Structure 1
Amino acid sequence: MGKFSAYKLPLKSLSVGSHEFDYHLDKKFFEDMESADIHDADLNIHVTVVAKNDLYELTIDITGEITLLCDRCLDDLQWPVDTTYHIYVKYGADYNDDSDELLEIPESDNYLNIAYMIYDTVALTIPIKHVHPLGKCNRAMSSLLKKHRAPGNISEEDGEMMEEIIDDIENTDVADSDNEATTDPRWDELKKLNDNN
């Protein structure tokens, strides 16, 4: 039995009318898909198949939450998912997915495995940049970013965002003694010389 055999819809054996299927996706599904972005999931999948003789109308509703890594601080980021995928399926001579609205599968296939349709639909809900809202990132990592950022090597938009993050961190009442840098007394003496001039 394959990893995704649970996601096979028995199209040929469906009678004319509406049929419903439910699935729950967790971390294992995305590990099996070898997903680099999705680290955990709690998703409910509701599939409605309307069989119309030689045409099948599929509607896949996906709701729940996935866990990504924040691009800024690398902590877990919970991302809500609420999306729908709609496609028509019909039997034909060969497999053909040239159209976004119609999928043609070989007459010899009794089942349609929708695991990859589900995965692609979830993956398309992930934004290009996945980051925590301002002020919600890991404070220790944010202070390291501030310390090591190279001026001039970031875009204006990213620079403004970084300044907002830094201001937010600096304006919090949380004192983090680990982030206080001790200074070398030799540098302190040199600074005094510079101040006197």
Structure 2
Amino acid sequence: MSSNKDFEIPFEGLKLGKHNYEFKITDTFFEELTYSIIEGADVDVAFTLEKKETMLIGEFSIKGIVRKTCDRCTDLMEFPIEIEHKLVYKFDNEMSDDENLINIPSSDHSINIAGMIYELMTVAIPSRTIHEEGECNEEMLSLLKKYVNSEEKDYPNKGNTDPRWDALKNLN
């Protein structure tokens, strides 16, 4: 994630009240993420941090375009995203089960929002992404059909199951 320090927000010494931050997410953000489902992006992030006596309230506003590969033809696809999310950071050494509450140990003096930005963008795109009918890469589709058909020839009994397991199909 493009220099994780860019997303580090110190809260120690910060005055009480609201503080605004803006970030630009580009393809470099994802370079260090080896297994990212997102290939690239052109996204603007507005983050408002409200400091209170016992907690911080973070409000994310994320808007832009995210690029991910098509699950069928592997060409890049673009998805517009628009996310509004509120998160509470509480000063506490205990762990929290609430997904909208993050406890900050008393030893910490800053928060890093890079991971949260990535998570919010990831859940904003569909889990299965395929082009509309007729928009997929025809060359790749013909290759897929060629290999799927040859695999069926290699395994002619693929649909047959072991009769010992057939009784399990009737269990409900």
Mark yes or no: TM-score above 0.5: yes
Q: Who is 1:14 aligned against?
A: 14
Q: Who is 2:85 aligned against?
A: 85
Between the two proteins, what is the percent identity of the paired residues?
30
Question: Structure 2, unaligned stretches of length 5 or more?
Answer: 153-157, 159-172
Higher helix fraction (1 or 2): 1
Residues 49-128 of structure 1 aligned to structure 2 (within 5 Å):
49-92=49-92, 94=93, 96-128=95-127
TM-score (norm 2): 0.78
Runs of 4 or more, structure 1, over 3 Å off, are 143-151
Distance 1:36 1:102, change over 3 A: closer
Q: How many Å separate the matches in 1 of 2:64 and 2:35?
A: 17
Amino acid at match of 2:62: I
Q: Who is 2:143 aligned against?
A: 144
Q: Who is 2:134 aligned against?
A: 135
C-alpha deviations, 1:46-89, integer Å up to 9, x for none?
10111222221111111111111111111111111111221111
Higher strand fraction (1 or 2): 2
Question: Structure 1, unaligned stretches of length 5 or more?
Answer: 154-197
TM-score (norm 1): 0.69
Distance 1:26 1:19, change over 3 A: same
Amino acid at match of 2:109: N
How far residue 8 of structure 1 moved from its aligned partner, in angstroms, is 1.1
Q: How many residues align?
A: 151
Q: How many Å separate the matches in 2 of 1:115 and 1:56?
A: 17
